[in-house]
Amino acid sequence: MRTLTELAPEASQQAPSLRAETGSGAAGQSRIHESAVKHVTGRAAYIDDIPCPADTLHLALGLSPVAHGRLTRLDLEKVKAAPGVVDVITIVDVPGHTDIGPVFPGDPLFVDDEISYVGQVIFAVAAESYQAARRAVTLAVVEIDEQPASLDPVAAAERGDFVRPTHHHQSGDWEQALRDATYVLEGEQFVGGQEHFYLEGQACLVTPSEDEGVVIHTSNQHPSETQKLVAEVLDIPFHAVTAEMRRMGGGFGGKETQASPWACIAALVARRTGRAAKLRLPRAEDMRATGKRHPFHNRYRLGIDDQGVLVGGEITVIGDCGYSPDLSDAVVDRAMFHSDNAYSLGQARVTGHRAKTHTASNTAFRGFGGPQGVMIIEQVMDDIARHIGEDPLTVRKRNLYRPGRDVTHYGQRVEQLQLLHDLIAELEQSSDYWARRQAISDFNRTSPIIKKGLALTPVKFGISFTVQHLNQAGALLHVYTDGSVMINHGGTEMGQGLHTKVCQVVARELGLDIERVRITATRTDKVPNTSPTAASSGADLNGQAAKDAAAKLRERLFDFAAEHYRLDRDGMRLEGGALVAGQGEAERRLPWAELVQAAYLGRVSLSEKGFYATPLIHYDRNTGKGRPFYYYAHGAAVSEVEVDTLSGEYRVSRVDILHDVGDSLNPAIDIGQIEGAFIQGMGWMTSEELKWNDAGRLVSDGPATYKIPAFGDLPPVMNVKLLEGHPNSQASIYRSKAVGEPPFMLGISVWSALRDALASLADYRVAPQLDTPATPERVLMVAQALRDAQGAA
């Protein structure tokens, strides 16, 4: 292991120029996160930092201790009588909707009689203090007629126990392809789930408003949906509810739908008591009560030719959805859309099942099912390589989309066909792949216990919500008479730098220094009917909406200036903090603040709204065909691992990443996203293990038992570069590309490198079965099995 001081020089070498702040900070330039200083000095306010009104009530929840059963008795008399308790609520106290399913029904706000998972909310207590509420919860008398819990998604799928119907993609005659193939390979895998482990847990503070409504402060990726659900639960109009969100301490998908229940419960208390209500889940309850990344069981039967190129066949993915639909239809769709990753499947059928189990309802998590789909085909690539005796990188390259093989199994044509070929070629060079491959083979031949592994895996990730109507955004721009600018939009900030990027867009459109542009909290009464900040599309959608608003305002100011100052309207521009008209000798410059002041006196509106809807996209669920994605974002990573095959312990010694963000909106932030996503993906593949006991209770419910990557797990060498010279082929915001989720899948290269190291135990002739997370225990068991098989042979 390296020491801190050894690591430091390398860390500081990383792209120093990108860390620098230069120029106006407009879109396209590196610029620190708008809250960076506040983040590191503790001045950035999260929900728990908001000063509560003096009479605030604190909430605690009574959660189901069993996974499946019927509630036969609920006696809350002692709870109500406990010191400090002001209100206790259950399902019967809900005046409006009792089901808060976000897309399809199935999520009761409180247990009615059927219990579906450990951690399901049965009742809520509001008390003068948090401690009083917590103590009172324990006084409840709860009797449950416990029934066997269904915890095996494969068995559920076999029984046809689904939360949503099965869906297929089909291109060509997959059965004929299997008959025509030189070889037919088969395999399966288990891909584990993942806890979001946002540092700020689920939290909200709700205050009653003058009339029948509420104001909700919520750590939330989807304020508009929470507004809607709270209104429906309270049975009041949407306009009586305002949701506000300044920033989250991480969301990662876990606050797309699953931030709403807490706001609904707190809102009920606030309306019933006329007092503010605060609800913040303790970590263990947060982990029990909320859904996670879907675990998947995947299978394939695919034919290849003698070169190892896929000719077709079938892939089946089974998502473990938990007890209700939540977002699972779209999550399993995305797993299906990405079961090809970067490779043409040939003539294939892809089937996606949505299995129902008695666990919390699994939900969005960075990649949104995409990573689980990518996993199956990346296993296939390694399996083919072992079968035909070629390097896995050679097999991957042969299978990439290319001319003549450029249409996905769901009918979308891959537009930037050459990009991934170029990107991989560049990374192959810069990471020194082939020399290291040779060195590793030599090392492994002479090292009996420590085995090294190397893998390059690519990603091609579809950008757009696969639910078409979500691909829209709005923005509201105000210019004040001192020339300062306020931009509001529907996106939420969760650390990803969205607000920084949107400020940069406005600064660029108005020719201003970014210091003059500010964003405050996202609020449903400023920009209405917003989509969740998800699908990596925050900057794409809200950036375009902000640009639209800024461009409209700019044109209005040009009209005003042309008339008021008698300037030439043609060629007028905003740059360097001034309006510029005319060329050369005739050039006139008017400082921005002066222009704005004059426009105000001239009674010109200094406020504008913007709107954007992504063009071109469509998907027909009946035929399983369409163009669900506006474009694809790409990348590739090379990971090297060292495995101790006697203990199963391993470390990631080096990572090289080359990633496609088109023309970056902010290279420094994009590199930060890539680093974070890679490490989070690596954690998913390696150390983050969710464990439920046989009764369906999550036992890995805190940081002591659930291991996210720590500082010491970071690869000592990690080179991250942005691909240059490939602007987006579609007219996205300044030809940039979304970055939030795609690099998460680069973490898969660590898993593939582990398989590579293990395969060396069988002279690279066997593709070891390695389920995920590939914990040291799993790695050890595979190593032993390979050794035993070698010994027997």
Residues that bind ligand MTE (CB under 6 A): 250-253, 366, 494-496, 498, 533-539, 673, 676, 738, 740-741
Residue number of the CB atom closest to ligand MOS: 253
Q: What are phi and psi of 318, to 5 degrees?
A: -120, 110
Residue number of the CB atom closest to ligand HPA: 535
306 contact partners, CB below 8 Å, separation of at least 6: 182, 183, 388
Is 614 within 8 Å of 541 (Cβ atoms)?
yes
Chain centroid, CA 551 distance in Å = 30
Tell me the per-residue interface mask from 310 to 349 with ligand MOS, x by CB under 6 A, - otherwise. Answer: ----------------------------------------
3-state secondary structure 122-162: EEEEEECCHHHHHHHHCCCEEEEEECCCCCCHHHHHHHCCE
The CB-of-256 to ligand MOS minimum distance in angstroms stands at 5
16 is written with which tokens?
Answer: 């120093």
Closer of 344 and 471 to ligand MOS (Cβ): 471
Site membership for ligand HPA, residue 368 (CB under 6 A): yes
496 binds, among ligand HPA, ligand MTE, ligand MOS, none (CB under 5 to 8 A by kind): ligand MTE
The CB-of-590 to ligand HPA minimum distance in angstroms stands at 44
Q: What are phi and psi of 749, to 5 degrees?
A: -60, -30
Query: Coil, helix or strand for 508?
Result: helix
Does the annotation count 10 as an active-site position? no
Site membership for ligand HPA, residue 334 (CB under 6 A): yes
The CB-of-365 to ligand MTE minimum distance in angstroms stands at 7
Site membership for ligand HPA, residue 751 (CB under 6 A): no
330 binds, among ligand MTE, ligand HPA, ligand MOS, none (CB under 5 to 8 A by kind): ligand HPA
Closer of 300 and 365 to ligand HPA (Cβ): 365
Span from 5-13, 459-467, 485-493, 697-705 in contact with ligand HPA (CB under 6 A) = 459-467
SS3 content of the chain, % helix, strand, coil (to 5): 35, 25, 40
Site membership for ligand HPA, residue 738 (CB under 6 A): no
CB environment 49-74: b (16+ within 10 A), e (fewer):
eeeeeeebbbbbbbbbbbbbbebeeb
Tell me the per-residue interface mask from 642 to 681 with ligand MOS, x by CB under 6 A, - otherwise. Answer: ----------------------------------------
Tell me the per-residue interface mask from 688 to 727 with ligand HPA, x by CB under 6 A, - otherwise. Answer: ----------------------------------------
Helix (H) or strand (E) holding 377: helix 370-388
The CB-of-368 to ligand MOS minimum distance in angstroms stands at 5
- CA separation for the pair 7, 414 (Å, rounded): 40
The CB-of-386 to ligand MTE minimum distance in angstroms stands at 33
The CB-of-24 to ligand MTE minimum distance in angstroms stands at 22
The CB-of-312 to ligand MOS minimum distance in angstroms stands at 30
Closer of 174 and 619 to ligand MOS (Cβ): 619
The CB-of-257 to ligand HPA minimum distance in angstroms stands at 8
Total Cβ atoms within 10 A of residue 566 = 9
755 is written with which tokens?
Answer: 């398989």
Residues 270-329 that bind ligand HPA (CB under 6 A): 327
Helix (H) or strand (E) holding 347: strand 347-355
Site membership for ligand MOS, residue 361 (CB under 6 A): no
The CB-of-47 to ligand MTE minimum distance in angstroms stands at 15
- CA separation for the pair 632, 742 (Å, rounded): 9
- CA separation for the pair 568, 582 (Å, rounded): 6
The residue type found at 397 is K
Find the binder of ligand MOS among 202, 221, 496, 666 (CB under 6 A): 221
325 contact partners, CB below 8 Å, separation of at least 6: 101, 103, 104, 106, 163, 164, 354, 361
Closer of 641 and 738 to ligand MTE (Cβ): 738
Residues 520-539 that bind ligand MOS (CB under 6 A): 534-535
Site membership for ligand MOS, residue 368 (CB under 6 A): yes
- CA separation for the pair 585, 496 (Å, rounded): 45
Tell me the per-residue interface mask from 509 to 538 with ligand HPA, x by CB under 6 A, - otherwise. Answer: -------------------------xx---
Site membership for ligand HPA, residue 470 (CB under 6 A): yes
Site membership for ligand HPA, residue 494 (CB under 6 A): no
The CB-of-722 to ligand MTE minimum distance in angstroms stands at 15
Span from 128-136, 344-352, 359-367, 717-725 in contact with ligand MOS (CB under 6 A) = 359-367
495 binds, among ligand MOS, ligand MTE, ligand HPA, none (CB under 5 to 8 A by kind): ligand MTE
The CB-of-55 to ligand HPA minimum distance in angstroms stands at 37
Closer of 189 and 531 to ligand MOS (Cβ): 531
Tell me the per-residue interface mask from 232 to 271 with ligand MOS, x by CB under 6 A, - otherwise. Answer: ---------------------x--x---------------
Written as one string, the DSSP assignment of 167-235 is EEEEES-HHHHHHH-SEEEEEEEEE--B----SS-SEEEEEE-SSS-EEEEE--S-HHHHHHHHHHHHT
Q: To the nearest 10°, report the CA torsion of 261, 265, 270, 271.
A: 100
Helix (H) or strand (E) holding 313: strand 310-320
- CA separation for the pair 485, 81 (Å, rounded): 53
The CB-of-293 to ligand MOS minimum distance in angstroms stands at 9
Find the binder of ligand MOS among 127, 241, 276, 364 (CB under 6 A): 364
Total Cβ atoms within 10 A of residue 438 = 10
Closer of 220 and 347 to ligand MOS (Cβ): 220
Query: Burial level of 467, CB count in 10 A (0-12/13-18/19+)?
Result: middle
612 is written with which tokens?
Answer: 């954007």
Site membership for ligand HPA, residue 630 (CB under 6 A): no
558 binds, among ligand MTE, ligand HPA, ligand MOS, none (CB under 5 to 8 A by kind): none
Total Cβ atoms within 10 A of residue 463 = 26
The CB-of-684 to ligand HPA minimum distance in angstroms stands at 17
329 contact partners, CB below 8 Å, separation of at least 6: 103, 104, 164, 167, 354
Closer of 302 and 332 to ligand HPA (Cβ): 332
Query: Coil, helix or strand for 326?
Result: coil
- Residue from 240, 378, 391 nearest 310 by CA: 378
Closer of 441 and 468 to ligand HPA (Cβ): 468
Find the binder of ligand MOS among 164, 297, 366, 396 (CB under 6 A): 366
250 binds, among ligand MTE, ligand MOS, ligand HPA, none (CB under 5 to 8 A by kind): ligand MTE
505 is written with which tokens?
Answer: 């867009």
Chain centroid, CA 70 distance in Å = 35
- CA separation for the pair 783, 12 (Å, rounded): 37
Site membership for ligand HPA, residue 466 (CB under 6 A): yes
Total Cβ atoms within 10 A of residue 430 = 14
Catalytic residue among 515, 675, 741, 777: 741
The residues annotated with a catalytic role in the active site are: 741
The contact set with ligand HPA (CB under 6 A) reads 256, 327, 330, 334, 364, 368, 465-467, 470, 534-535
The contact set with ligand MOS (CB under 6 A) reads 221, 253, 256, 364-366, 368, 534-535, 741
